[in-house]
Structure 1
């Protein structure tokens, strides 16, 4: 077996199981070291691998078994565990999903490079994936400047040449305090998908937040309203409070302008909660089930989102990520 593939697959299963980021990083960094070695120069013993940078006892044991032509026992166990659905309640709807409109790479705060995210998405059966790294204002997440976004578009073009799934130009664009979007208009026009999200001043009063969100939703480039309440599960099991806004007004704007309300599939977000999801459904909104993946193994989080959409009784045809890519892109460009 290819030791590089073994390490990356093992990291995938760890990510899917929500393992600690630093633990997963050890396997991906070891894979990068192994990939840099010509095949005839790769060690065949645990000691040989341990002598290389980024290799510890567990990573060395994995690749030594792989080099001997065996499926490593640890990997076999992970595969067996991974055969179970993340949430059986979402399986039927998950099978209808064609793509993912909210993902992150090492261009901003993701843990893996763009080509690897696209490769894994294709292996999972995705027909399309939008790369939506952050906009400039979110410096803590290494938001992309104009120059870096254009460079990323070049990489998307190169990756597209090697993949059968569509790799879409996207961006998770900050909704600024006045409701404007944190991207120049010419760059917004060049994007396939725009996920507009609030990341700051989450405790603003309801009137302020409502006006802010409605203005962003009304922008012709906005495709998806990302994680609308901003809630997040803390390490101690309590929730960071939801932003206050008028859901009837915000969701009426989403329905009016054709902006999909994101059903964020990350287990620590589960945003919007079911009561607000039903308000959005009653308002006539479209939805987008997205992984908000920051690593390849998290792309499979879509199952969690599908389970929540099923619990909310959302009609699959109102979920834009069930649509074929041509219909999706036509919708994304509806106001341009």
Structure 2
């Protein structure tokens, strides 16, 4: 199913498209959940009953179908573009300059995303389906690590189970798209990583991020980050300052650390500095992107998506990278899969 809003859409496609557009515009979570839940009901109920109920006006008798979602189903079955879908903005998220378009088109994948195995809002399969619809070549599944209990971080045992699911998805897709195994691993106070070396060895991609004690003094924070960068398992340094500049969680100042020392270490060990595409993060700030660029760092433009609609946030990161003059060849998420895999194995 291609993402479009033509009258050829089936009801489940229209409902999923609405949920996607609400998510990417940072709409209310309850509305997103209502449309995605309704899509699930339509899928499990069966076409004949859905059509019969639409004609009889009894769709709302099905648990999970409300007035708004019933109207979407009814209008779609009638060959119409649903009113709810028509009013949503499905245009570009950022101004389409030649530089921004070229950068976005160069991106092949994304190395940072979450599912409902940790603090994401959707199953792995729904995230994968959206990646396919968006034309991704690869996507890393990087749910959180154990210490981040507030985000339902994965123990080694749960992560091992997740790896079997990733393998099954890739076997089913047969090379059409690759779901990379991964983790967003917490950088602990002493710079060590919050997962066993054995499990980290089994993963395709390791994103290391600070999530606690963000106001740690500059010296200890620098040593903490250097420890993570020097760890041979680390591929990407995630949202390095931890700042929040807007959004429902409020704002948060950036962490203090010796950025020059950290980026020099990233360049030395070929650890990519993440350009986090989430609008509320915009991390690193522009001056630090320029500093990392001057230090010779690699970069990864990532969505940090916690829901399918947020996978389209890649456009925000692409726009920032283009504006700041980051060369596409130094962005690992523009690389073909074979080249990317060779890079992640460089120190293991």
TM-score range, shorter chain: over 0.9
Structure 1 residues without counterparts, runs of 5 or longer: none
Alignment check: 8 A CA contact 2:130 2:308 kept: yes
Of 30, 35, 38, 1:27 maps to 35
Q: Say if 2:325 is the partner of 1:317.
A: no
Give the Cα separation in 1 of the matches to 2:255 and 2:22.
32
Task: State the Cα deviation string for residues 220-269 of structure 1 (Å, max 9, x = none).
Answer: 11010000000013447963100000000000110011000000000000
Residue 319 of structure 2: aligned partner: 307
Q: Displacement of 1:161 after TM fit?
A: 2.5
The 4+ residue runs of structure 1 with deviation greater than 6 A are none
Q: Displacement of 1:87 after TM fit?
A: 3.6
Alignment check: 8 A CA contact 2:275 2:300 kept: yes
Alignment check: 8 A CA contact 1:44 1:68 kept: no
Task: State the Cα deviation string for residues 60-113 of structure 1 (Å, max 9, x = none).
Answer: 1101112223331322343xx313343424322001000000011111111111
Residue 272 of structure 1: aligned partner: 284
Please report the TM-score for the alignment, with normalisation by the length of structure 1.
0.96
Alignment check: 8 A CA contact 1:85 1:91 kept: no
Q: Displacement of 1:168 after TM fit?
A: 0.3
Per the alignment, in what secondary structure is the counterpart of residue 63 of structure 1?
helix
Counterparts of residues 62-141 of structure 1 (less than 5 Å):
62-78=72-88, 81-89=89-97, 90-141=100-151
Of 240, 252, 257, 2:269 maps to 257
Of 341, 345, 348, 1:329 maps to 341
Residue 3 of structure 1: aligned partner: 11
Residue 307 to residue 235, structure 1, CA distance change in 2 (3 Å): closer
RMSD: 1.5
Residue 252 to residue 275, structure 1, CA distance change in 2 (3 Å): same
Structure 2 residues without counterparts, runs of 5 or longer: 1-8
Please identify, of 42-51 and 5-14, the stretch whose mean Cα deviation from structure 2 is larger: 42-51
Alignment check: 8 A CA contact 1:46 1:61 kept: no
